[in-house]
Copies of this chain bind each other. A is one copy, B any other.
Amino acid sequence: MADKKIPKATARRLPLYYRYLRFLYEAGKERVSSAKLSEAVKVDSATIRRDFSYFGALGKRGYGYDVEALMNFFSKTLNQDRLTNVALIGVGNLGQALLNYNFRRNNNIRISAGFDVKDDLIGTIHQGVPIYDINEMVDQLEMQQIDVAILTVPSEIAQEMADKLVKGGVRGIMNFTPIRVTVPKEVRVHNVDLTNELQTLIYFINYYQDFDQKTEPEEDDNPLNDLFYNE
């Protein structure tokens, strides 16, 4: 099925489309146009149409897109038609929050195993998810055929854990640590770096000026105060 070349930027928007289509479906809507979709997901309608067109002709001219059909198409495309089990490595604060987050509720994704080093966690069940000793990780990953993991461990052991994950056959890692781990090229890592995100946001609000607002940058000794960003 991995035949066509879908741009990565497009791939990243698919879940967004899927989610809104489900919302429309549940609201009883039968059709939707790229313009309407654009409003909800805040992506230019031309981009949406272009994105969809990579998958073939999904809509009807003069009509728009059939909500149910499109939803089902994306469901398959995003593997939402079968359950994906995910491992949680590191059951600390963030890890436990993610357990509670419950991806399952609206998606066919669930955290099915947790791993930690702490004795008081090992052997317990959190939110219905059993927590194993990290030493059993490679075996359990193989046995349970898990191929996606969420990494929420201290930075110091991030690489070591990534190595174990690879050994256990994991093909995708959602990395919440600030460390850029090294893995074989067939393993995919998505970094979610909360501190980075905040810093970038702060940078943007301080140095981005909206041309439409015609605001002048403040005068100070920072060499960057005359930088502008174009949206």
Contact = CB atoms under 8 A, between A and B. Distances in A.
Interface size class for chain A? 35 or more
A40 B180 contact: yes
- The count of identical subunits is 2
Nearest to A204: B188
Which residue among A80, A93, A200, A204 has the maximum number of chain B CB atoms within 10 Å of its CB? A200
B93 A101 contact: yes
A230 B18 contact: no
A209 B200 CA distance: 30
Contacts of A46: none
B14 A203 contact: yes
A144 interface: no
Which residue among A172, A196, A211 has the maximum number of chain B CB atoms within 10 Å of its CB? A196
Contacts of A101: 93-94, 194
A2 B109 CA distance: 43
Interface of A: 1-6, 8, 11-12, 14-16, 18-19, 40-42, 55-56, 76-80, 84, 86, 93-94, 96-98, 100-101, 103, 106-107, 109, 147-148, 150, 171-174, 178, 180, 182-183, 185-213, 215-231
